[in-house]
Structure 1
């Protein structure tokens, strides 16, 4: 599933082959994109920039035209040399950008829109994103303060849902959500009001470290959009790449406990955790050794 690291790698690869090039052909499977192209042709424009913002990918053309795409669960961008056979059928094509020697093709992308700078600023989703974990400006302090603000304004929010909330911090998806909570030893169903300053800081830090570790491939001159399944454990064994995600009923790699699983949030997203490493904290007995008061009770999961 595309998360912020996937979109970042895609934007980086697209930028390498498209930036500064004239568009020689544009095609689309979407009527609303075709209508804009009829009025303001894409062919002939220069691609000025390709960038990722959280889980959004933005392609900037000369003449104030921006193609904004979101992959959701199934979309992807592919890069081909001109004349090379596509890996997906043409019926799955949603947008085609062709420049001298290269084709960039968006397959099964469910959200694709043209914007001007002004209309993009008015769009509610993109301008209101929280700090992008993979941006050059992101720091642990910035992520920490974003979580602090959410805890103050929405104390009853469950932390795993907050980690998925792109308006708090942008880029994390369902895999990282469980992995980051595990790394910080935080039960994913805990309310924000129960989190210590140290736990929030750990999650802000781990989020960046995990995601940056998964974008190292492709940072050189080569054109790489996929680097295999993401890893958080540093293990070279592909069967041991994650701490808890997708490991329901298996032994915890840290303590030997049994990994648990439960649906969570409005989208009923899959959440995994170790009940030994990530004990429940709520109202009740105080937990010692923290930098803020936190209280614990049992939770039936």
Structure 2
């Protein structure tokens, strides 16, 4: 499933070619979208804003109409010059929004809905998202508060599942889940009640740092899209881009131990960790360190 950094880059690229421009064509393979378009035509509207909220992408049209999409596992947005051959077949097209000279096409996007400002506020999936790790308003302290609230309300939740919960922190996905726990030296299967303030602070900080590093814009005014694989290490070697994710049975890059993997959560998502760098903490260690000041530890990863 695309993570928040993927959606952020997609929204940024779409904004550069669509914002402030008038829609010259709109088509969709979804009956519900087509019905709204029949009643409230998209053609002729101005695209006022394109934004990402966690793993959701929103296109705001003039006249209070908002297209909301979620890519789930297989969806993607592409940008083409008018008349340019698509990389995917027309049968995979779900939404096409065209302006003069450019068209944005959503392929295999399984969730696509029209909203007004009022109806969007009633949508639990979007409006009840936690703090967006890539938003301008996010900080490590904001993330810490969100994690603390979850610890109080759901003390038995496993931390890696919490990091995937979009109502706690929006944008993190399966790769970042494992990488963030590794950076903070936290075993991903630990219950929230066993975490210290310092550990949660480090995870909140690292979440932002890792995701921001993967959405860096390039120089110039051209369209910038992401090329290459997601990276959490500082290595220039593409093969060394991640600390633990996808590295089951291989040596830990930090200590030389062997990376392990186990399925976790309702969706049985793969979780990776180093048992030496991320030792298990049981009930006897619960709440340890809660009365000590937060230490902003500078990590090498």
TM more than 0.5: yes
Matches within 5 A, 1:213-252: 213-218=213-218, 220-252=220-252
Per-residue deviation, 1:292: 3.1
Give 1:90's aligned residue: 90
2:243 aligned counterpart, secondary structure: coil
Distance 1:203 1:98 in 2: 41
Deviations 1:186-230 (A, max 9, x none): 000000000000000000000000000000144752212322111
Question: Contact 1:260–1:275 at 8 Å: present in 2 too?
Answer: yes
Q: How many residues align?
A: 291
Q: Quick check: 1:143–1:204 contact (8 Å CA) kept in 2?
A: yes
Whole-angstrom CA distance in 1 between matches of 2:191 and 2:160: 9
Tell me the TM-score normalized by structure 2. 0.94
Residue aligning to 1:11: 11
Q: After TM superposition, list the pairs within 5 Å mapping 1:1-301 onto structure 2.
A: 1-218=1-218, 220-284=220-284, 286=285, 291-292=289-290
Matching residue of 1:296: none
After superposing on structure 2, the runs of 4+ consecutive aligned residues of structure 1 that deviate more than 6 Å are none
* Distance in structure 1 (CA, Å) of the matches to 2:218 and 2:91: 29
RMSD: 1.4
For the residues of structure 2 that align with 1:274 and 1:77, how far apart are their CA atoms?
35
Give the match's secondary structure for 2:127: coil
TM-score when normalising by structure 1: 0.94
Measure the CA separation in 2 of the matches of 1:162 and 1:14.
30
Task: Tell me if structure 2 keeps the 8 A contact 1:159–1:190.
Answer: yes
> CA–CA distance in 1 between the matches of 2:195 and 2:259?
22
Structure 2 regions of 5+ residues with no counterpart?
292-301
Contact 1:16 1:223 in 2 (8 A): yes
Is 1:9–1:218's contact at 8 Å kept on the other side of the alignment?
A: no
1:84 deviates by 0.8
CA distance in 1 between counterparts of 2:86 and 2:220 reads 24
Q: Structure 1, unaligned stretches of length 5 or more?
A: 294-301
Contact 1:6 1:225 in 2 (8 A): no
1:190 aligns to what SS in structure 2? coil
Q: Secondary structure at the match of 1:261?
A: strand
Local SS of the residue matching 2:94: strand
User: Aligned partners of 1:112, 1:287: CA distance in 2, in Å?
Assistant: 43
